[in-house]
Amino acid sequence: HVQLVESGGGSVQAGGSQRLSCATSGYTYSWNCMGWVRQAPGQERERVASIHSDGSTTYADSVKGRFTISKGNAKNTLYLQMNSLKPEDTAMYYCAADPSIWRNYCSGLRPSQWRYSGQGTQVTVS
């Protein structure tokens, strides 16, 4: 079955940087749409960023200019480079994927709509 596994979380000081990684297993094809969502304690899941197979990316306003989503050379790997981290970025970060080929659908996916997501990796900024 399909699994997404995140890594790279941990504790970091405000202003610092961190890079999250996501690897996929159990999926033969290349994802058309991948992204990151996050959930802070007591809050709803929030869309962070997405990337379509055509290379187009979208970001939440709260992370624009600080976070960069990218795909790795290995098939179905995903990264999130996070710079200038703030305490409000503290959350569980989840990798997500969807087979949809439509770019507009990919860019508009709400956190609950992604077909697959991982178990999450905790990022704590203090």
Residues of the chain with pLDDT under 70: none
- For the chain, the average pLDDT equals 95
**pLDDT score at 4:** 97
- Residues 6 or more apart whose CB falls under 8 angstroms from that of 91 comprise 38, 39, 40, 43, 46, 122, 123
Q: Which pLDDT tens digit goes with each residue over 92-123?
A: 999 999 998 888 889 899 999 999 999 999 99
User: What pLDDT does 74 receive?
Assistant: 87
Q: Please, are residues 2 and 96 in contact by the beta-carbon 8 Å criterion?
A: no
Task: For the chain, state the CA radius of gyration.
Answer: 13
Tokens of 71: 């795909």
User: Could you tell me if 52 and 32 are in contact, meaning their C-beta atoms sit under 8 angstroms apart?
Assistant: yes
